[in-house]
Structure 1
Amino acid sequence: MQNHGEAKYLIHAQIQANGVVEKPDVVGAIFGQTEGLIGEKSDLRELQKGGRVGRIKVNIDSDNGQSKGEVLIPSSLNKVETAVLAASLETIDRIGPCKANIGVTDVEDVRESKRDKIVDRAKEILENMFAEDDMDSREISKTVKRSFGESAITSHKGLNAGPNVESSDAILLVEGRSDVLNLLDNGIKNSIAIEGTDMPDQIEELCKQKKVTAFLDGDRGGDLILKELTQRADIDNVARAPEGKQVEELNHEEIKRLLKEKVPVEKSEEIKKRNQKTEKQRVKTAESNKEKSKILQKAKKGLKRRVSKKQKPEPSKDTEETQEKDQQKTESTETQKKQKDYQKYLNELEGTLKAKLLDKNKEEIEEIPVRELTNRIKKSKNTIHTIIFDGVTTQRLLDVSSDNNVKRLVGIKKGSIAKKPTDVEIISKKELS
């Protein structure tokens, strides 16, 4: 890469002229035919005097009475002004006495090129001069990029996001901060985190302004978020990670393929219904097989009872040990009963996007939509002991619960939790199974 001083952008343009022309002819045509075209403030001579446009470089060759070449113009203007300057070059139709054509082929971000060069060199230094650290090339690349700030997450209206969410016409909605970070590591800068099923109002507003693809985990949590998005926001397409996998775990090739395979949101609902039908058939078959197995086991037990002699149980040798075992058994039974109650509530709530609030005596206080959960906890005055809800336990929900003396959260899934308070128990559906 050539040195272009303090330029932010470098305009590349191709020249074709029907005749023999030289560098001074090209430079003269650029100054002469763009003068006054886009206003006094954007006059090329004035911009060059002020140091906002660099020295115009021309490379041109002539052959068989035809001239071809390239023009390079360094620019320290902003994106819009640079684009206007580049477009003005394409109005040039003569160079010297010859008919000519100029077409812009690229506007290079010089700073991006410099950053790439720094990252590549830093990776090289890290590999060669810190050999004792056992890091693979992918880990080195991530480490360098993050330390350099290339993968830094920004904040858009209080939500974790990539740096291009504001400027991009199309955005990706993902579940959490770690998903945004993984996409940044793989060069995708227009994603924003929903932060669980309690969808912020900012997302709803953002979906009205941009073309939106929901890029979600391939699990129950992803299903819940998609359900809420289709009810509350205007999304266009859906892309899903493979079943059981999360967006934060995907590599570059998987991300590229899955985004290419995204489907319109309406089609996504049809696919989901077909999958649910298949799953119901699978469960029905499994239950039928289980019932047959139970009948077979009963028959075997009956046969054993007929052929075996009755034996009296041996008396206990250690009364204290027996009592301890009985106590453990009682405690285990109580825990199982509690878990059964939670599982029953969770099964009732699943697919409703609602939450049940219980007091310390396990009495139901009320049932509310999941999206109102955070505000309701804040107003609870320490009366809520347990929350069972159809959603994902997020860091935000956990912090609010801890601040308001909620002792237990029972949800479908645990989200990305960086700091777990010691005074709140978290239970997922998987742990109750």
Structure 2
Amino acid sequence: MDDTAKYLIHASISADGVVERSDVVGAIFGQTEGLLGDDLDLRDLQQSSKVGRIDVQIDSENGHSFGQMTIASSLDKAETAVLAASLETLTRVGPCQAVIEITNIEDVREAKRRMVVDRAKELLSESFDDTVMTSTEILEEVKESIRVEDITEFHGLPAGPRVADSDAIIVVEGRADVLTLLQYGIKNAVGVEGTNVPEDIADLTQERTVTAFLDGDRGGELILRELAQVGDVDYVAFAPDGQSVEDLDRGAVIQSLRDKVAFASLPNEGSFRAAVAAANGTQEVPTDPRTESPTTDDTSPTPPADDPSDAATETGADTSNTVTVEPIADVGVGAEAGTVGAADEGSDPDAPAAADVLAAAEVETVAEADPVPETRSLSDHTREIIDAESGLARLLDANLEPVDEVAVEKVYDTVEYADPAPELVVIDGEASQKLVDIAAQRGVGNIVARSAGEYVKKPVSVRVRTAEQLVD
């Protein structure tokens, strides 16, 4: 169609015989020649580009031909209508009787106007942002940009700027935790980004004094267990029960780091969070004997004053828990400012801490009084679902007890509408982007799958592991 055309003449054609496109075009020129005078002669109009090419589409079936014809016109309305009407005077195409009927004259400009209006509506709704930022939002955005500029990478993992040269590091779960600690002046944190601890982090823990600072939930316990298997952990600190590191205020972060406990003093069995709480002399987190995991309790360490710059060095029976806090400083080891976890000079590093001995005694007493019954582990569920090629997905609660079991293709709706939402999903299939997104929306913290998918954007709240990583 010519870009300058204003109208399109649409016509239908039928013939009592088999005809071709060239027959139709020849009949139009032959039978309209001289019909409308020199000013509207079709050949002259085409030569002057006032009429475009005659487009004919015709088919034959059972000895009859039928099709559609379109002619572009740059003439005015009246001239176009006269030209269209002249086409209906055709009675023969080649040797066959034929009928041409005008079905419609389309105003091309009107179609373009509708397209312009529709596109303008889209641009108006999509391209203009009417939101006006408040002063608080402006300040928060500026502060966030400063924190993002401070964050660096350590072998592709989010890290504070002092991780590369500090004598001590703090291992946290993800990028959001690193940003939170940077906000409070702690610059030697590195995130493992999931329960599959990278080899670079495992190697780094062999060279530095390591404090694992993890969320106060079962996911934090799982990360600590894997980190302890592949690396060397010196101290352990948890966020208050049920809270994440990224959600803590400055006082709660400093208090949690002050309450860190030597990992070597923790028992191999039972809840690490309960053992850390006992070592700190706080109310012990109750433990469910079926899963050795703590139940929900509102008790948590009392946060210190809002301004940690006023905090003085606190030395207890366990010299490894000495804490020095300054307003903007690194959390490291040695005499440098902002150090969390360095031992006081002159103390015996090999001497057992009183709190550690007390914690060990309490854990042993609990173990003797209430032996923990054997339950199915996550590895057991993985073998039953994935290794056995069951074609199923199993939903588990926080106690690793099955909540539901469905075919793989039904896992999306099952996870989305499960009440209550499961804690963990074991699936004999791929942990796709859709499944990970639904899990993040429902608060599912862990997925174990046969394979991991390709993620455009992976939620930090969901940890994905494959059966190969989990089961030896």
Q: Aligning the two structures, in what range does the TM-score lie when normalised by the shorter sequence? A: 0.3 to 0.5
Return the index of the structure with the highest Cα Rg. 2
| Structure in which a larger fraction of residues adopt helix | 1
